[in-house]
């Protein structure tokens, strides 16, 4: 039997909003240590990894390891029915092919339960080795989201023809890190754009700092639209951490206070593309 009671239910709502654009169907894995998910996006380019540790739940009962396949869009629809102050409990009986989400209002005057059919989903759990990164940038998540959105607008011609739409999908961002700061660059139909954020640790609030840990300078190219999808997780955390190495996928991480994280992995575009983009 599974019964996970999360007092801060709005957190689960935010988690769903952060990943449902990338992932359609996925297995949620429950074990004694926590509630987690690992899934590729539908075009098998980006990887999402979610962890909510058992300690973060008010009540956490998971008698045996369980993998529950869910349609994230439907799950999101159900979670949207929870009030922002509601307590959410996830329940499943052993051997059952359904999962139940229960929402309790803070005053206990309103109790809702939503039952959803589970799905059989093939998936393999990839081991993600710990790695050393050339550079790690920590910055306000809202700033990162704003930059990705702004750079995207450069590739947006407002033209509805398919080829233009394609251009937009292919729009790339170059992320370059030096000791002084991090630069985001793109080249689109209507021009070019560069945004530089300087290292800045002397701010009033620690979450407004831009902090750069760098072993060696790095410059990598990524598909901008994936970066934009990742920023859907911004409501989960006031800061985002971007870890870069020339041989590794970038890791874009949003920590979930006292519970875990949502991490997005994305392979850099190969050099050929990069040259095209710079020419």
The three-point CA angle 220-215-197 to 5° equals 55
Q: Which residues, in sequence order, are CB contacts of 239 under 8 Å at separation 6+?
A: 138, 139, 140, 141, 207, 255
Comparing CB distances to a copy of itself, the nearer of 111 and 257 is: 111
Q: Which residues, in sequence order, are CB contacts of 32 under 8 Å at separation 6+?
A: 54, 62
Comparing CB distances to a copy of itself, the nearer of 44 and 198 is: 198
31, 65, 192, 246: which one binds a copy of itself (CB under 8 A): 192
Q: What's the closest the beta carbon of residue 224 comes to a copy of itself, in angstroms? A: 14
Comparing CB distances to a copy of itself, the nearer of 148 and 259 is: 148
Torsions phi, psi of 44, nearest 5? Answer: 55, 45
Structure tokens at 243: 């870890």
Look at residue 123 and give its three-state secondary structure.
Answer: coil
Q: Identify residues 90-109 at the interface with a copy of itself (CB under 8 A).
A: 98, 107-109
# residues contacting a copy of itself (CB under 8 A): 36
Q: What's the closest the beta carbon of residue 212 comes to a copy of itself, in angstroms? A: 12
165 lies in the site for a copy of itself, by CB under 8 A: no
31, 42, 65, 73: which one binds a copy of itself (CB under 8 A): 73
Rounded CA separation 13/194 (Å): 34
74 lies in the site for a copy of itself, by CB under 8 A: yes
64, 110, 125, 278: which one binds a copy of itself (CB under 8 A): 110
32 lies in the site for a copy of itself, by CB under 8 A: no
44 lies in the site for a copy of itself, by CB under 8 A: no
Q: Identify residues 125-154 at the interface with a copy of itself (CB under 8 A).
A: 143, 150, 153-154
179 lies in the site for a copy of itself, by CB under 8 A: no
To which residue do tokens 């380019």 refer? Answer: 45
113 lies in the site for a copy of itself, by CB under 8 A: yes
Q: What's the closest the beta carbon of residue 153 comes to a copy of itself, in angstroms? A: 5
Rounded CA separation 113/1 (Å): 17
Handedness of CA 21, 210, 221, 271 (dihedral sign): negative
To which residue do tokens 């369980």 refer? Answer: 66
């Amino acid at each position: 039997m599974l019964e996970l009671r999360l007092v801060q239910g709005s957190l689960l709502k935010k988690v769903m909003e952060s990943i449902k654009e990338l992932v359609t169907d996925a297995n949620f894995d429950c074990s004694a240590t926590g509630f987690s998910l690992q899934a590729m996006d539908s075009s098998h380019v980006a990887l999402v990894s979610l962890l909510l540790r058992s300690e973060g739940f008010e009540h956490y009962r998971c008698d045996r390891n369980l993998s529950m396949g869910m349609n994230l869009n439907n799950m999101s629809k159900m979670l949207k029915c929870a009030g922002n102050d509601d307590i959410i409990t996830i329940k499943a009986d052993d051997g059952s092919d359904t999962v139940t989400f229960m929402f309790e209002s803070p005053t206990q005057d309103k109790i809702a339960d939503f039952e959803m059919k589970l799905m059989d989903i093939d998936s393999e759990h990839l081991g993600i080795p710990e790695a050393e990164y050339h550079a790690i940038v920590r910055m306000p998540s809202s700033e990162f989201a704003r930059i990705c959105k702004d750079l995207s607008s450069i590739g947006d011609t407002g033209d509805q023809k398919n080829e233009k739409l394609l251009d937009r999908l292919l729009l790339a961002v170059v992320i370059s890190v030096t000791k002084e700061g991090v630069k985001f660059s793109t080249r689109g139909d209507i021009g070019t754009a560069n945004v530089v954020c300087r290292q800045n640790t002397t701010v009033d609030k620690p979450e407004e700092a831009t902090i750069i840990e760098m072993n060696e300078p790095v410059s990598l190219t990524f598909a901008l639209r994936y970066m934009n999808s990742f920023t859907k997780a911004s409501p989960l955390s006031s800061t985002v951490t971007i870890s870069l190495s020339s041989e590794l996928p970038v890791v874009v991480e949003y920590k979930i206070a006292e519970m875990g994280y949502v991490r997005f992995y994305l392979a850099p575009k190969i050099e050929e593309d990069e040259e095209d983009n710079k020419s």
